[in-house]
């Protein structure tokens, strides 16, 4: 919640906020969902479950 509150405070009020998330359960916690429901400028986009790591910004080491 601290991270979301920081984003909400720091991003100018007239802008929409799009977050790309994995399907980790904490992203769907009831407290998070309630908080987001009151802030319509937040738009969550979840990566497909089967694609964990695909397109990651972290380089793969083989």
Q: What token pair was written down for 35?
A: 């908080």
Averaged pLDDT, 9-13: 97
The pLDDT, as a whole number, for residue 53 is: 58
The pLDDT, as a whole number, for residue 16 is: 97
Do the beta carbons of residue 35 and residue 4 sit within 8 Å? Answer: yes
Quick check: helix, strand or coil at residue 46? Answer: strand
Which helix (H) or strand (E) segment is 56 a member of?
A: none
The pLDDT, as a whole number, for residue 54 is: 54
- Phi and psi at residue 59, in whole multiples of 5°? -70, 145
Euclidean distance between CA atoms 4 and 8, whole angstroms: 6
Q: Is the dihedral of CA 29, 30, 36, 40 positive or negative?
A: positive
Taking the domains of the chain in order of start, what are their residue ranges? 16-49
């Amino acid at each position: 919640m601290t991270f979301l509150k920081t984003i909400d405070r720091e991003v100018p009020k007239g802008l929409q906020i799009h977050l790309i998330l994995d399907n980790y359960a904490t992203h769907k916690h009831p407290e998070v969902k309630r908080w987001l429901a009151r802030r319509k400028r937040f738009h969550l986009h979840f990566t497909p479950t089967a694609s964990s790591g695909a397109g990651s910004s972290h380089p793969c080491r083989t």
